[in-house]
Every structure is written in C-alpha cells, then in structure tokens.
Structure 1
Amino acid sequence: MTIVLVAVGGALGACMRFLTDRWVQARHDTGFPWGTVVVNSIGSLILGFITGAALFGVPMPVVQSLVGVGFCGALTTFSTFSYETVRLLLDGARLFAVLNVVGTVLAGIGSGVVGVVLAASIWA
C-alpha cells in the first residue's frame, strides 16, 4: 500500500511542479529560474509541516508517504536546480547563478523552519 501512496503522490507532485513552474516563469521575463525556487520553497514548507507534526507526536504514516515522500519528492527538484545553476554560469550570468544557489538554499531552509513552527503552533 505504501508504494501506491508514494506513486500517487509522486504523480500529483510532478504535475504540480510542471504547472507551477510554467505559471511562475510566465510572469517573469528574466533568465532567473523563479519557478524552481518557488516549487522547492513550497515543498520545503509542506515537508517541514509534516515533519513538525511527527516531531510533536501526530502519527501520520499515510500522509508522510503520500505527501511527504511522493508529492514533495516529485514537487521539489535538486537536479533542475543544479542544471539551472550550471546553465546560468555557462550563459555568463554569474550573479544570477550565485543568487540562485544562495536564495534557493536559504528559502528552502527558511520554508522548512516555517513549516515546523506552524506545526508546533498547532500541536505543541
């Protein structure tokens, strides 16, 4: 059953990743990969919330498999983040490449912390 939950969550997360990335990128005419930053931040927030709930004793094995592993695993993307950073470097956009690395890491960590804090505000 767990593998089915992960697969369903992954299918939904992959579709959401594609649609969100296209929607965000269509609203920016720069070469900066805003869509990837957004999906990685959203995924980190959701995963932080689920992790926070588990830390405070809320048993959610189905949600962890479906949303945490499946959905967030497919929604977030380290490979695209890496590719886009290299692409920025090769295109000579060094400042954008550095901002992408620093911004994505800080946004991901910050979003994860916000998710844990939100869970704590509910269950702690």
Structure 2
Amino acid sequence: MTQQYWTIISIFIGGAIGTLLRYFINLQTVTLLFPIGTLFENLLGSLLLGTLTGWVAVKVIPSFLKVGLGVGFCGGFTTMSTLAADSAFLAGQASLFQSGMYLITSLIGGVLFALLGMLLGHRLATKQKVGERA
C-alpha cells in the first residue's frame, strides 16, 4: 500500500476512535451541568493535540501516525460544531453571561491547554531522547 492509503486509513481509524470516545463522554456527562462534556472534550483534546505537536517537534514519527492521531483522533474527539450549538443554546435558554463564560473558558482554556500540552510533549520527548543517549 502507498503512503497515501496508510494516511487515509489512519485518519479513518483515529477519527472513529476519537468520535466514539467523545460520544461515550457525552453519555456519561449528559446529566451533569450542561455542557460540561463538550468543555471537557475540547480542553482535553487541545491538551492531547498540543502534546502530540510538542512531541513531534523533537521526535520523528511516521507521517501516517502523526495525522492519524492529530487529524483523526483529536479531530474526531474535539468538536467545534457542538461548541457553537451549545453556546447558542445557552444564550437562548440560560443567559448571555453563561454563554459568554462557556465560550471564553472553551477558547482561552483550549489555547492554554494546547500550549501546556506542547511544553509537556516537548519535555517528554526531550527527556526520553536524553535517556536514550545514556
């Protein structure tokens, strides 16, 4: 198989796993404070994608694995469309304040978690690289 097919397959598998995990988390959090499940998924997904990005900045991994985890898994696990729908729902059913706080927490938190993940991934990859030389 060519590299392109491996890339497509890895995105498909990663996306399926990420989407199923997101669905499972939504089922577990549906009775909790709305929309805590989506917030958790998006923040964790930002952290994971940031960690992957920091890792591959130091380590070389196969391209199909990088896109399978990044585009596939993290793309399937996180959800911009649900963030938008939840924000609109909160604005209409709860309050503009709650909707605004949800948006701010999601956006700023997502960026901060991604940065934290990048630092973590870089540190882990660098630490392992130093350990390999010893």
Q: What is the TM-score of this pair, normalised by structure 1?
A: 0.89
The superposition leaves residues 32-57 of structure 1 with CA deviations (integer Å, 9 ceiling, x where unpaired) of 31000000011111110111112224
Q: Tell me the alpha carbon deviations over residues 29-86 of structure 1, each in whole angstroms, 9 at most, x when there is no partner.
A: x3x3100000001111111011111222433423312211101111100000001100
1:20 counterpart = 2:25: yes
Which runs of at least 4 in structure 1 moved beyond 6 Å after TM superposition?
A: none
What is the RMSD computed on CA atoms of the aligned residues? Answer: 1.4
Give the 5 Å matches for 1:68-79.
68-79=70-81
TM-score normalised per structure 2: 0.83
Aligned to 1:56: 58
How far apart, in 1, do the equivalents of 2:88 and 2:79 lie?
A: 15
1:111-122 alignment runs, 5 A limit: 111-122=113-124
**Percent of residue pairs bearing the same amino acid type:** 28
Tell me which residue corresponds to 2:12.
7
Is the alpha carbon distance of 1:119 and 1:60 closer, same or farther for their aligned partners in structure 2, counting shifts above 3 Å? farther
Matched position secondary structure for 1:106: helix
Q: Equivalents in 1 of 2:121, 2:17: separation in Å?
A: 23
Report the number of matched residues.
Answer: 121
Structure with max Cα Rg:
2
- Report if aligned partners of 1:54, 1:60 keep a CA contact under 8 Å in 2: no
Q: CA–CA distance in 2 between the matches of 1:21 and 1:35?
A: 5
Q: Which residue of 2 aligns with 1:94?
A: 96
What CA distance in whole angstroms lies between the structure 1 residues aligned with 2:120 and 2:45?
A: 14
Task: Tell me how far 1:115 sits from its aligned partner.
Answer: 1.0
What secondary structure is seen at the aligned counterpart in 2 of 1:56? Answer: coil
- C-alpha distance in 1 between matches for 2:83 and 2:73: 18
The DSSP-based 3-state class of the residue aligned with 1:91 is: helix
